[in-house]
Amino acid sequence: MRKAVVPICVILFIMFIGCYLIIMEYARDKAAERAANENVSANPTQDAVSGPDQDEGIQGILLGINEDDKLLDFQDIENKKIYSIPYDEGIKLMSRHGSMMTMAELEKGEIYKLYYTRSIKKLTGLQVSDSTWTYTDVKRFSFDEHKKIMTIGDEAYKFTKELKIYSLGNEAQIMDITEMDTLTVRGKDKEVLSVVVDKGHGYVRVLNDAYFIGGWIEIGQDIIKPVTEDMLIPVGEGDYLVKVTNRGYAGEEEVTIKRDKETNLDLSKIEIEEVAIGHIQFKINPDYARLYIDDEITEFEERVPLEYGIHAIRVECAGYDTIRSNIKVGSEYAEIGITMDEENEEDKQGSSTASSSGKTSNTVSRTDQPVSSNTVSSDNAKSTVSRNSSAGTTNKYNTVSSNEAGTLSSGTASTVISGDKKILIEQPAGAMVYIDGAYVGVAPVSTQKVTGAHVITLSREGYQTKSYTVNISSEGGDVTFSFSALNEN
């Protein structure tokens, strides 16, 4: 009898162990399923989308496609978490309006509704979100990284540090974007969620410029700059007519700009022609103000003969804010009306304080900024310039050109130079540094501190040229930048 008990005990023990292992395995499976369904995995790339079978409870920004492992990477637009979700060949892909799409049509930065089947732990469908907005062909924009505000046209939107930016399918940063770029912007309510650079920028390198230094270069309708030595000018992708003028002569050349590429403009090969003369009637209020054209005081009771092209004007009068403008003469006759604003009390007090303390705060006109190209026609053409800025010297960029009537609109862009403060570019060492197209020197290099938004361009033979947009505050002392090494061509 004892001999029979031992085998029975062994059998019961084995059965007990087996049942225990089965129960533990079941418990582990349930725990794993709960963790997956509740998105509590410690590894975010293993998280699954919550919600019942075929639920669309999550909207995400597409970050990447791993076709080898059949995974799609998304960022939840609500909690900003990142998920890597498996999919299979049968996944349904739909546009915003429900038409079928292919994997090749999926775009990084686009916002999709995600259909996830919990029972099989796979993504079974995607549809472009219809509860978010998309702005295409965005050209008027700006970023304030400190306040986390993006302005599109005249509207302000917030963004977070998780903002996703893509250029040519690669992740980028805000400072990689320049005002020459064209964007697609996506968001929800008043928040920007993703930015895609549809059209980037390349560069015009100006060669053999000696004759035109001190003159002007126009690239298309939006870029007008004074010609300085060894310029490298960032320009948006596309085809442009370039015009250069100086000392009564002008030349033209057509150029094609490709993204991240330099296009050489050899001014010695441009056919130069004598320019025509326009006759401009200036009507200035008050009429006893002083008018300077190209830094020379000019009488304006009668029409003023000016060569076709760009001219810098400055209007000064005691008790009034100084007005600085650039005008583009392109018609035989035109009229420009200028109304000056009286200095307000803050202007006067600031001027008095600066004078009595022996300190000078210089507000200067930047003539290398883009100029609008509105047109004013011949005999009856009129253009009005008036102050539209805060206290200080007014800085305006206006144009008078071509042969069709129009009204000038002008931007205001005050720029303050701090006499003893510097902008230092330390890295990458050995790279040629350009600020707003003008040559500064070879890094490490410093230049006078100028507030506002500027494009810093880095160039070196054998390496890819790179630009960054920076915003220089008037507060604080010197500003130092160290940029990443340039990529080899």
Q: Is the bond preceding 444 in cis, omega lying within 30 degrees of 0? A: yes
pLDDT digits (tens), the chain, 489 positions:
455 555 666 666 667 666 666 666 666 655 545 544 444 333 333 344 444 455 556 899 999 999 889 999 999 999 999 989 888 888 899 999 989 999 999 999 999 999 877 676 788 889 999 999 999 999 999 999 999 999 999 999 999 999 999 999 999 999 999 999 999 999 999 999 999 999 999 999 999 999 999 899 999 988 999 999 999 999 999 999 999 999 888 999 999 999 999 999 999 999 998 888 999 999 999 999 999 998 899 999 999 999 888 888 999 999 999 998 888 888 889 999 999 998 876 555 544 333 333 333 332 233 333 333 333 333 345 555 554 433 333 333 344 443 333 333 333 344 566 668 899 999 999 999 999 999 999 999 999 998 888 999 999 999 999 999 998 888 888 999 999 999 998
Q: What is the CATH class of 201-274?
A: mainly beta
Q: Which CATH architecture has domain 417-482?
A: Sandwich (2.60)
User: Distances in Å between the alpha carbon of 295 and those of 31, 290, 292, 311, 315?
Assistant: 80, 11, 5, 10, 10
According to CATH, the superfamily of the domain at 133-199 is Copper binding periplasmic protein CusF (2.40.50.320)
Please state which of the four CATH numbers 2.60.120, 2.40.50, 1.20.120, 2.60.60 is assigned to the domain occupying 44-128: 2.40.50
User: Distances in Å between the alpha carbon of 150 and those of 134, 166, 184, 199?
Assistant: 14, 16, 13, 18
